[in-house]
């Protein structure tokens, strides 16, 4: 059996969707292991833009079984509309192609409400969440008052659990958030209906994966968000509410960590971030605006403009170390064509002191001033390049410079948004 884990190495939005789509062509199963409809993968296939939030992009390939694993949180309306959209597009999304873990948790309407109202209450201290109820769903899971996808199939279990949960949540909603509590009957009926619609897809996905591992299949694990948004290792509290690291793939899929072999980190050739929190290389000037414009840097889930800046090598080296990334995919290098010079942060200066390593303390990070190295840019459009040798010398030098400092090999260079616009160095399933 061979496995590849694909993770974002920055603050999300590194272009993982296109990469998952590519490697899914070589996989027997694609497993999404964390997050929920906060993620947004944009794919461009035959010139058509497809945005997916929950279902692994592998569903657009013919072969792989696509799985939402235990630690994914599922908002049924989003999932059902995604299934509908894929069916309309002629995609085979039969239960033999798509499975949902019975252990995954359900994002309920009150989670979404709590997410919104909390952000309003926090005012200036808000996290800048996607508003999809992600934090409150994981919070209820850890507090053992969550509803699992498998519960939707058992009316008696669901009734008993929802009664206890609503009692607790409605108290909070009414007394702390000062909002109208949720009526039991409506939530219960809706949840049962979702259960009926999703029933054919619900399964013990850990067992399915165990059997696939024993049959020597190729399994692709797909992370959402990025390492810098990890609940432990990210810029806490400005993080998402799950572990985005590859180690979390084994925990979520219910497979041995020994199954995880090749950890591929995806990094954009510059940096973006959505939501609040420190971002040392952020550029609040026309260079940042140009990166946003050329890179189409607007959130796929919320439409928010992304904060843009030069590549932060301090953060990228940290993500590689923290997550145990073993090889690198660089994306969106084509967006840098035309910039006369390209800067890369190699260290920070914080209160007069040089930091070569990423600080864990965000109050320190807010003071970080990047120390840049400047590399010469290139003018040529590089979208058609099919090998590293075809790149202009300065573009090739930029790639080599990053790879050398990252200290891990390059697997792939993405030079455009379309399916074919990539230069492959090697196949990670065969590594």
Residues involved in catalysis: 13, 41
Cβ–Cβ < 8 Å for 56, 223: no
Q: Residue 152 CB, nearest distance to ligand IMP (Å)?
A: 23
> Is there binding between residue 295 and ligand IMP (CB under 6 A)?
no
Tell which positions 380-399 bind ligand IMP, by CB under 6 A: none
Label each residue of the chain as H, E or C. Answer: CEEEEEEECCCCCCCHHHHHHHHHCCCCEEEECCECCCCCEEEEECCEEEEECCCCHHHHCCCCEEEECCCEEECHHHHHHHHHHHHHCCCCCCCCCEEEECCCEECCHHHHHHHHHHHHHHHHHCCCCCCCCHHHHHHHHHCCCCCEHHHHHCHHHHHHHHHHHHHHHHHHHHHCCCCCCCCHHHHHHHHHHHHHHHHHHEECHHHHHHHHHHCCCEEEEECCCCHHHCCCCCCCCCCCCCCCCCHHHHHHHCCCHHHCCEEEEEEECCEEECCCCCCCCECCCHHHHHHHHHHCCECCCCCCECEEECEEHHHHHHHHHHHCCCEEEEECHHHHCCCCEEEEEEEEEECCEEECCCCCCHHHHCCCEEEEEEEECCCCCCCCCCCHHHCCHHHHHHHHHHHHHHCCCEEEEECCCECCCEEECCCHHHC
Nearer to ligand IMP, 39 or 202 (CB): 39
Q: Please identify which residue in 265, 275, 288, 309 interacts with ligand IMP, judged by CB under 6 A.
A: 275
Output the smallest distance, CB 301 to ligand IMP, in A.
6
With binding defined as CB under 6 A, does residue 18 bind ligand IMP? no
Q: Judged by CB, which is closer to ligand IMP: 119, or 380?
A: 119
Binding mask 72-111 for ligand IMP (x = CB under 6 A): ----------------------------------------
Rule CB under 6 A: choose which of 7, 224, 283, 335 binds ligand IMP: 224
Tell me the C-alpha to C-alpha distance, in Å, between residue 343 and each of 12, 94, 287: 21, 48, 11
Does 333 interact with ligand IMP (rule: CB under 6 A)? no
Q: Using CB under 6 A, which of the segments 128-136, 290-298, 317-325, 411-419 binds ligand IMP?
A: 128-136
Is the CB of 33 or the CB of 339 nearer to ligand IMP?
33
- Binding to ligand IMP by residue 14, rule CB under 6 A? no
Binding residue for ligand IMP, selected from 134, 162, 325, 345, defined by CB under 6 A: 134
Least distance from C-beta 407 to ligand IMP, angstroms? 25
Torsion sign (Cα): 123, 128, 129, 131: positive
Could you tell me which stretch among 11-19, 95-103, 182-190, 257-265 binds ligand IMP (CB under 6 A)?
11-19
Among 3, 205, 241, 414, binds ligand IMP (CB under 6 A): 241
Question: Residue 129 interacts with ligand IMP (CB under 6 A)?
Answer: yes
- Give how many residues touch ligand IMP by CB under 6 A: 21
Of 21-29, 38-46, 60-68, 372-380: span binding ligand IMP (CB under 6 A): 38-46
Stretch binding ligand IMP (CB under 6 A), from 95-103, 126-134, 188-196, 371-379? 126-134
Query: Between 32 and 61, whose beta carbon lies closer to ligand IMP?
Result: 32
Contacting residue, 69, 260, 274, 283, with ligand IMP by CB under 6 A: 274
Q: Which stretch binds ligand IMP (CB under 6 A): 10-18, 106-114, 244-252, 381-389?
A: 10-18
Distance, in Å, from the CA atom of 132 to the CA atom of 301, rounded to the nearest integer, reads 9
Binding stretches for ligand IMP (CB under 6 A) = 11-13, 38-40, 127-130, 132, 134-135, 224-225, 229, 238, 240-241, 274-275
């Amino acid at each position: 059996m061979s496995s590849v884990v694909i993770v974002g190495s920055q603050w999300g939005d590194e272009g993982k969707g296109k990469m998952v789509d590519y490697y899914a062509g070589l996989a027997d199963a694609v497993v999404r292991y964390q997050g929920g409809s906060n993620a947004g993968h944009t794919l461009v296939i035959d010139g058509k833009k497809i945005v997916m939030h929950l279902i692994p992009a592998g569903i657009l390939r013919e072969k792989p079984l696509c799985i939402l694993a235990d630690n994914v949180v599922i908002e049924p309306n989003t999932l059902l509309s995604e299934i509908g959209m894929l069916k309309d597009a002629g995609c085979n999304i039969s239960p033999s192609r798509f499975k949902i873990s019975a252990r995954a948790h359900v994002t309920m309407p009150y989670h979404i409400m709590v997410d919104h109202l909390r952000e309003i209450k926090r005012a200036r201290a808000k996290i800048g969440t996607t508003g999809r109820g992600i934090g409150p769903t994981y919070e209820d899971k850890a507090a053992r008052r969550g509803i699992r996808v498998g519960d939707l199939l058992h009316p008696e279990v669901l009734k008993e659990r929802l009664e206890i949960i609503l009692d607790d949540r409605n108290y909070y909603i009414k007394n702390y958030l000062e909002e109208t509590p949720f009526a039991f009957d409506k939530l219960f009926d809706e949840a049962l209906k979702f259960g009926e619609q999703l029933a054919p897809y619900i399964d013990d996905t850990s067992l399915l994966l165990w059997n696939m591992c024993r049959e020597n299949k190729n399994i692709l694990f797909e992370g959402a968000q990025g390492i810098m948004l990890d609940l432990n290792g990210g810029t806490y509290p400005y993080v998402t509410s799950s572990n985005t690291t590859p180690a979390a793939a084994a925990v979520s899929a219910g497979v041995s960590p020994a199954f995880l072999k090749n950890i591929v980190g995806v990094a954009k050739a510059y940096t973006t971030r959505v939501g609040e929190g420190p971002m040392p290389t952020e550029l609040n000037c026309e260079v940042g605006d140009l990166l946003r414009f050329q890179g189409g840097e607007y959130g796929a889930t919320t439409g928010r403009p992304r904060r843009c800046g030069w590549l932060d090598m301090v953060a990228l080296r940290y993500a590689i170390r923290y997550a145990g990334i073993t090889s690198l995919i660089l994306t969106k290098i084509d967006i840098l064509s035309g910039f006369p010079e390209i800067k890369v942060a190699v260290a920070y200066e914080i209160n007069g002191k040089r930091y070569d390593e990423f600080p864990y303390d965000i109050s320190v990070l807010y003071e970080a001033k990047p120390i840049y190295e400047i590399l010469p840019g290139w003018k040529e459009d590089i979208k058609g390049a099919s090998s590293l040798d075809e790149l202009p010398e300065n573009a090739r030098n930029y790639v080599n410079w990053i790879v050398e400092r990252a200290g891990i090999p390059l697997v792939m260079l993405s030079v455009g948004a379309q399916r074919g616009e990539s230069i492959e160095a090697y196949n990670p399933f065969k590594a």
